[in-house]
Amino acid sequence: MDTINIEEIAFKIIANSGEARAKISDAMDAIEEGQFELAVQLLEQAEENLLEAHNVHMQIVQKEACGERINPTLLLIHAMDIMLITEAERDLVKRILRMYKNKRIRFSEKV
């Protein structure tokens, strides 16, 4: 089995999740401005980044499933935490987008 570089994997997860998180934040800004098409595009781009982070993460999962012992580091745990938080933010922003599009939230309301 190929040796796996946990630090490299962690940084790839962090980088892709960070890119996704920035795009999700931009999508939320677009939603607030009523630019729904832009928000959808940004969420699609974020989804690509999250898919890449997930694929990198699966390398570790698959290796461990095949019997290779993976020693998680604090950096890897941090990377997985960022990925999971970003996925939760994505889901929340998608829900907010649906609410805006369905006019359950009025554009004139100030929070």
Q: Which pLDDT does position 89 carry in this prediction?
A: 98
What's the mean pLDDT in 27-47? 96
pLDDT (0 to 100) of residue 1: 39
Q: Please check the confidence at residue 109 and state whether its pLDDT lies above 60.
A: no
- The domain spans of the chain are 6-101
Q: pTM to 2 decimals? A: 0.86
Q: Summarize pLDDT for 61-77 with one digit per residue, the tens.
A: 999 999 999 888 999 99
Active-site residue set: 78
Indicate whether 108 pLDDT > 70: no
Class for the domain spanning 6-101:
mainly alpha
Burial of 104 per CB tally in 10 Å (0-12, 13-18, 19+): exposed
